[in-house]
Structure 1
Amino acid sequence: MAAGRCPRLKSKGHVALLATRFPLYGVIGHAYQYGENGIQALSDMDSPIPYSHPQIGMFLASQLVRELREYRVVNLDDLDPAA
C-alpha cells in the first residue's frame, strides 16, 4: 500500500524485504545531561544508539530501531494482499 501511495517511493523507487529475524537494536532521539541548572538538552542524534550505550538512560527516544539480520528481497506483486 505504501509503495502505491507514497510519492517518494514512486519517484525514487523501493525495495521490499521480507524480514524473518529483526531484533531490537536501539533508538534515535535526543540526548540530555545534568548541568548546573538541572537537566539540559544536548543535541538530536541522527544515528541510532544501541540499548547497551552507557548514556541510554539520559536519552529521550523518538524512534525505535531494529537490526535486520535475516531477510530476503521480494517482489510486491508476488505477495498476497493482507485480508
Structure 2
Amino acid sequence: MSRKTISRPTVTPFVVAYGDEQGGPEVDLTIQFTPEPRLAYRIPQAGDRDRGGVLWARVERASRTGKPIYGQMNADRQRDCMYDLLCQVCAEPASRTGDGWLFLDWVMPQDPPTWPEGSLTNMPPLCVECARVAVEQCPHSGRFVPLRVKLPRLWGVSGVAYQWTDDGWRSDDTIPWIKYGDDRLHCVLASQLIRELRKVTVVGLP
C-alpha cells in the first residue's frame, strides 16, 4: 500500500494524551496493608485497581480539548481500548476475522526471536479503516507490520515503581513491562496495559 506524504495528522487517535490532562500528585498516595503493604490512594475510588489488583494512575480524561501529545497515551483510554479490544483511533470494536484481531506492530529490541509470535505490545488493536489512516499519517508507519492475532493475552502492565520511605511513597524507576503475578506489582502505579500476541499471522491491509 502506498503512503501519502502529509505535513501533520488530520486524525487524533482516541488513546492519545492531551496537554491539559493532568496526572494525580504523589501526595495522594499512601500505604495500605491487605495484609501485605501495597501502594494505594489516600481516598480510594472505584476503578483505581484492575482485576489483577494493580493500582492505576489517575489521569484527567474529560476534555480532550488541549494540544495532543502524539508520543504519549492517556492511561485510562489506553487501558479501555486494550482491555476491551477497541480500536485505538476511533474507540469502536477493533477488526476481527477468523485469523484474529488486527494489530499494527513492529520489532522492538526486547522482542523474542520468534517475533511476532510471543511478542508484547502496549498498542491497542485497530479497525481496518483506522489502520489505513495510521499507515498514511503516522511518521513511524514505515515500521508497521499488519498482524492478525487469534490470542492477544492480557499479560501485564507498564508504569512507575515506587518505594516506601520515611516520608511516604516516592517514585523509584519506570518499569516498561511487568507481568501479572509479579511480586513487584504491589508498588507499581500502572499507566499502560500490555498484551502478549499469540497465534499470530502477518497479513496485508485489505
**TM-score range normalised by the length of the shorter chain:** 0.7 to 0.9
- Tell me the SS of whatever aligns to 1:75: coil
1:14 aligns with 2:168: no
Larger % of strand: which? 1
**CA-CA distance at 1:20 after TM superposition:** 0.8
Give the number of equivalent residue pairs.
Answer: 74
Q: Distance in 2 between matches of 1:27 and 1:62?
A: 7
Q: Could you say which structure has the greater relative contact order, defined with CA pairs below 8 angstroms and 6 or more residues apart? A: 1
Tell me the CA shift for residue 37 of structure 1: 0.9
Q: Secondary structure at the match of 1:64?
A: strand
Q: Which of residues 142, 158, 162 in structure 2 aligns to 1:28? A: 158
Counterpart-to-counterpart distance in 1, 2:143 and 2:169: 43
1:2 counterpart (117, 123, 134): 134
Query: Which SS does the other structure have where 1:4 is aligned?
Result: helix
SS of equivalent residue, structure 2 residue 136: helix
Q: Between the two proteins, what is the percent identity of the paired residues?
A: 36
Q: Distance in 1 between matches of 2:143 and 2:172?
A: 35
Residue in structure 2 matched with residue 74 of structure 1 by the alignment: 203
**Inter-partner Cα distance in structure 1 for 2:189 and 2:180:** 12
1:51 aligns with 180
In structure 2, the gaps of 5 or more residues are 1-132
SS at match of 1:67: strand
1:39 to 143, 161, 169: 169
Shift, 1:27, TM fit: 0.7
Aligned to 1:61: 190
SS at match of 1:57: helix
Report the 3-state secondary structure (helix = DSSP H, G, I; strand = E; otherwise coil) of the residue aligned with 1:55: helix
In the TM superposition, residue 13 of structure 1 has moved relative to its aligned partner by: 3.3
Moved over 2 A (4+): none
Instruction: Tell me the secondary structure at the aligned position of residue 140 of structure 2.
Output: helix
SS at match of 1:7: coil
CA shift for structure 1 position 68: 0.4
Opposite residue 166 of structure 2, the aligned amino acid is E
C-alpha distance in structure 1 between counterparts of 2:143 and 2:160, whole Å: 30
Bigger share in helix = 1
